Chain A
């Protein structure tokens, strides 16, 4: 079906209707997505955010027609904010915190999501529909609700939280809280994709493997897992990206100490309030680059 449609696009010419639909989609993409992101990237290299006084200086230099001075001034602007960001202790720490916490939270998601998804895909049991809804719930639940729930469940003044805290396991307002918040909101992205990927592997494949002498576990790792690998990786990437972008719940359960428990997203927020929009551009660009790179890498793997 897919192949037929694709070839139709090229072989059968483009109908005015198709063209209209395509242009409509393209204009949406540019208007709502590419333009704002473009503004972000442009601002990174735009000196006016870095130092509003510079623009006036540049104007004066142009007015004085001193070309060499203009050139020197321009050279000074290039790439400054982003490069400076890597010298900023707070941003560097936020990058580290984000990478470590998302690695752990997505690992937790895979460890628990894989078996759960397999059972959901292969077996029918009473309450399966309810369980599926429960898995998907965090996708539609505002993250702030997740934040409140986590605080009410594991906060220092709750029964469970106080017991854990007494044994040196503070959850809320530490990095552990950040991981929990990320796991909470990002888990459904993996679980849903994993269920669909396992369902796409015909059961007869596993049964064939069993009839050839493979144990259930061997049939799973040698047949089902490789056959669903693409979907699983795509699901993992979605989960990881969601965890990376997690903000609402994170800001509620984190201690928000600069240079210690800022994630990249909360860093953007605090920097924005503390030092204006310029201060947060660098963190935003780093997030954009990381997200874009990971998506492209996954696309390359999945569509290979």
Chain B
């Protein structure tokens, strides 16, 4: 079912100091500022942002656990603001899994059914269905304390799914798992989501989650949505330097516009004295401060000056080589600026790249993204 969040705002009172009390002043922390988005039926929507950006508050507002100051929440076109959490049919999975420690796995999973008065064969059939879907067969009689992290995560997911919620909200459900379990759990989650066609809103600070799971992504910062869009679009064309930096997309260079050439479609940006060519944009003016994103995978490394159509060719010295599996992240400094480039292990060996070596970094003007 589709979910629409319409200009939600929420602020919390801050603890007041003595002077605040004397001046009759109340201070607020604005957790959410005018947040709007829409999630379509069956969509996997990821809200990505650092700690304290308001993403958990947003989930709590949708679930009805916190009342918003302004704005409305719609489920299938109907406003649900007046409904208490138990009447919204919105599932929630918490970071700590929140399995009821005094109940067995089966009792945990069927809790929502009991709360809704669903018993007997119907309950057994539905419990079996989700337990099968999440590979939990054989764990029915176990207590939560005897389960592994991955099993706990699957049980908490099964418990939320058994009541067939209109929307399932997940608050960093994988962050308590070790790296290996997290990978398995991630693909499991995606499989179950597609299999059962559940609409999911997933909150995380891990850009890998967004990259691998999301249909759509909203990047949040300080209570507002910084960028919203299809996952590919957000990763390929981040709008702001915050989005680019938070998702660890690559080199961010700050400079000011030196010259604009609408005919050639080129903007020249002065980055600490080094001129970088970027695509032309109409809204820029000379002297304006801009941030540029150059992704490491778009930078070509060469030991001699390359014959290339790329407009940006920088002479640089290698200052660091970081081996990441089959790839090597080569950090080279070209005068005042530092640029990371990606190379395969094979090419690093072929070019005999080493620290202190002189290299040429080449990238096209079209590979430079101008960020807001």
Q: Which residues of A contact B (CB under 8 A)?
A: 202, 204-205, 207-215, 218, 222-223, 226-227
Q: Which residue from chain A places its CB closest to the CB of B162 in the assembled complex?
A: A212
With A and B bound together, what is the CA distance between A54 and B156 in angstroms? 73
Cβ contact within 8 Å between B102 and A215: no
Cβ contact within 8 Å between A204 and B115: no
With A and B bound together, what is the CA distance between A204 and B95 in angstroms? 9
With A and B bound together, what is the CA distance between A207 and B64 in angstroms? 10
Chain B contacts for A223, CB-based, 8 A: 100
Q: Which residues of B contact A (CB under 8 A)?
A: 63, 65, 84-86, 88-92, 94, 96, 98, 100-102, 111-112, 115-116, 156, 159-160, 163, 169
Cβ contact within 8 Å between A215 and B86: yes
Cβ contact within 8 Å between A213 and B163: yes
Give the contacting residue for A207; candidates B85, B101, B111, B115; CB below 8 A. B85
Chain A contacts for B91, CB-based, 8 A: 211-212
Cβ contact within 8 Å between B115 and A211: no
Give the contacting residue for B101; candidates A208, A209, A210, A227; CB below 8 A. A227
Cβ contact within 8 Å between B100 and A205: yes
Cβ contact within 8 Å between A208 and B98: yes
Give the 8 A-B CB pairs with smallest separation, nearest first.
A212-B112, A211-B92, A213-B115, A214-B115, A210-B85, A208-B98, A204-B94, A204-B98
Q: Which residue from chain B places its CB closest to the CB of A206 in the assembled complex?
A: B98
With A and B bound together, what is the CA distance between A205 and B91 in angstroms? 13
Cβ contact within 8 Å between A212 and B65: no
Chain A contacts for B112, CB-based, 8 A: 212-214
Contact A205 to B160, CB < 8 A, known contacts A210-B85, A213-B86: no
With A and B bound together, what is the CA distance between A211 and B116 in angstroms? 11
Chain B contacts for A218, CB-based, 8 A: 115
Q: Which residue from chain A places its CB closest to the CB of B100 in the assembled complex?
A: A223
With A and B bound together, what is the CA distance between A204 and B116 in angstroms? 20
Give the contacting residue for B90; candidates A205, A208, A211, A222; CB below 8 A. A211
Chain B contacts for A214, CB-based, 8 A: 86, 111-112, 115
Q: Which residue from chain B places its CB closest to the CB of A212 in the assembled complex?
A: B112
Cβ contact within 8 Å between B96 and A210: no
Chain B contacts for A204, CB-based, 8 A: 94, 96, 98
Given A204-B98, A208-B98, A211-B91; 8 other pairs, CB 8 A cutoff: A205-B100, A209-B115, A210-B65, A210-B85, A211-B160, A212-B160, A215-B86, A227-B102
Cβ contact within 8 Å between B102 and A207: no
Q: Which residue from chain B places its CB closest to the CB of A225 in the assembled complex?
A: B102
**Most chain A CB within a 10 A radius of its CB, from B85, B96, B163:** B85
Q: How far is the CB of A56 from chain B (nearest CB, A)?
A: 63
With A and B bound together, what is the CA distance between A223 and B63 in angstroms? 19
Chain A contacts for B96, CB-based, 8 A: 202, 204
Cβ contact within 8 Å between A202 and B115: no
Chain A contacts for B115, CB-based, 8 A: 209, 212-215, 218
Cβ contact within 8 Å between B92 and A208: yes
Cβ contact within 8 Å between B163 and A212: yes
Question: 12 A-B contacts, Cβ less than 8 Å apart?
Answer: A202-B96, A207-B63, A207-B65, A207-B85, A207-B94, A208-B94, A208-B98, A209-B111, A210-B85, A214-B86, A227-B100, A227-B102
Q: Which residue from chain B places its CB closest to the CB of A210 in the assembled complex?
A: B85
Q: How far is the CB of B176 from chain A (nearest CB, A)?
A: 12
Q: Which residue from chain B places its CB closest to the CB of A223 in the assembled complex?
A: B100
Contact A211 to B86, CB < 8 A, known contacts A204-B96, A218-B115: yes
Chain A contacts for B94, CB-based, 8 A: 204, 207-208
Chain A contacts for B88, CB-based, 8 A: 211
With A and B bound together, what is the CA distance between A218 and B163 in angstroms? 17
Chain A contacts for B100, CB-based, 8 A: 205, 209, 223, 227
Chain B contacts for A227, CB-based, 8 A: 100-102
With A and B bound together, what is the CA distance between A214 and B103 in angstroms? 16
Chain A contacts for B169, CB-based, 8 A: 211
Q: Which residue from chain A places its CB closest to the CB of B87 in the assembled complex?
A: A213
With A and B bound together, what is the CA distance between A215 and B85 in angstroms? 9
With A and B bound together, what is the CA distance between A222 and B101 in angstroms? 11
Cβ contact within 8 Å between A211 and B85: yes
Contact A205 to B98, CB < 8 A, known contacts A211-B91, A214-B86: yes
Q: How far is the CB of B138 from chain A (nearest CB, A)?
A: 23
Q: How far is the CB of B281 from chain A (nearest CB, A)?
A: 45
With A and B bound together, what is the CA distance between A205 and B100 in angstroms? 7
Q: How far is the CB of B29 from chain A (nearest CB, A)?
A: 15
Q: How far is the CB of B66 from chain A (nearest CB, A)?
A: 10
Q: How far is the CB of B101 from chain A (nearest CB, A)?
A: 7
Cβ contact within 8 Å between A212 and B159: yes
Q: How far is the CB of B64 from chain A (nearest CB, A)?
A: 8
With A and B bound together, what is the CA distance between A227 and B116 in angstroms? 21
Cβ contact within 8 Å between A202 and B98: yes
